[in-house]
Amino acid sequence: MHGLGNSYIYIDLFSFHLEESKLAPLAIDVANVNTGIGSDGLILIHPSEKADVGMRIFNKDGSEGKNCGNGLRCVAKYAYEQGIVTTKTFTIETKGGNVTAEVHLIGECVDEVTVDMGEPQLRREQIPMLGNPNERVIAEPFPIEEQSIEVTAVSMGNPHAIFFVPTIEQAPLSKLGPVITSDQRFPEGVNVEFVEVVNKQEMHFRVWERGSGITQACGTGACAAVVAAILNGLAEKEKEVCVHLSGGDLFIKWSKDSHVWMRGKAETTATGVFEWTNE
Ligand SMILES: N[C@@H](CCC[C@H](N)C(=O)O)C(=O)O
C-alpha cells in the first residue's frame, strides 16, 4: 500500500506469526526492488491490547521507526476494509504512542483517512537532540559542512529536523540529507525535511527519511513541518495547511488543544504471497 507514493509492504499478523529476529532482515529483503518487491520498508498490522489495532514500521535498512503517518492511514484503510474494525473511528497503537483514525469512504472503500496524531513533543530530550534537555529547538543555528543553516526540531513520536529554504528546487536534499540524518547531535538519527513556505496555508516539502533515504512523502514529517512553521511564525494554529509533497498533498492542522491532525489518501497497490528464504 502507499500514501502519496510512500510505499510499504504490509503484513497482517492477525492470523500469522513472525519471529522477532526475522523482522529486520525481512524488511530489508521485501524492500529491495531487484530481489524483493520494492518499497520504503515494511509495516506489520498486529493485534493490540492497548488499541483497536497495532502497527510496527521498519525502514528500508531494517531499522525500526516509532511512527509513520502515511503508514497509519494505510493501516486504517486495511483494518476497516478487512473488517478488523467495524466503526469508522478507531485507535491504532504505535511505538510512538496511540492515535485515533477516522476513515472517509467512497462506497465501501476507504478513500481518505484523518488521523489525530496527538501532541508534538518539542523538548530536546524528547526529540532526542543533544543539549539542554528542557530546551526547545526553534530556528537554532546548525553548522554543517562549512555552512550554518537554522534547524527546528519536532518529535511526532519520531524525530524530525526541519530546515526552511527560499525555494524547494534549491533544497540540498541529496547533499545534506544523508549527512544530517546520522549527525551525532541526534543520538537516534533524524528524519530531515526541507520546507518552502508559500503562505500561511501552503508549503512545499521534501524529505530524507531516517533509514530509507529520499521518499515521495512522509506523514509525520509533514505534521512536524507545519508545527515548525507555526513555531517560527510562518503559519497559524487552527488553520489547515496544504503540504505539497513529491507524491501529492496532505492537509495538516495544529489545533489550539495542541493536537495535530493529518488528512490524506491511502491506496492499495497489490495483495499477494511473498516467497522468502531466510538463510
Ligand atoms: N514515512 C513515514 C516515517 C517512517 C519512519 C521514519 N523513517 C523514522 O525512522 O522515524 C511517515 O509517513 O511518517
CATH architecture of 2-118: Roll (3.10)
Over residues 47-66, the pLDDT tens digits come to: 999 999 999 999 999 999 99
Provide the annotated binding site: 6, 59, 69-70, 158, 191, 209-210, 219-220
- Judge whether 57 and 156 are in contact, CB under 8 Å: no
pLDDT at 16: 86
Domain 124-260 fold is Diaminopimelate Epimerase; Chain A, domain 1 (3.10.310)
Q: Is the ipTM of this complex over 0.95?
A: yes
Q: What is the pTM of this model?
A: 0.98
In the chain, list all ranges with CATH 3.10.310.10.
2-118, 124-260
pLDDT at 165: 98
CA of 182 from ligand 1 middle (Å) equals: 15
Q: Whose CA is nearest to atom 4 of ligand 1?
A: 68
User: Where is 25: in which H helix or E strand?
Assistant: helix 20-31
pLDDT at 15: 86
pLDDT at 78: 98
End-to-end CA distance of the chain: 27
All residue ranges of the chain with pLDDT < 50 are: none
The residues that are catalytic are 68, 218
Q: Which of 51, 50, 43, 48 is nearest to 72 (CA)?
A: 43
pLDDT at 279: 61
Mutate which of 220, 243, 262 for ligand 1 pocket (most atoms within 8 A of beta carbon): 220
pLDDT at 278: 74
Provide the annotated binding site for substrate: 6, 59, 69-70, 158, 191, 209-210, 219-220
- Judge whether 194 and 163 are in contact, CB under 8 Å: yes
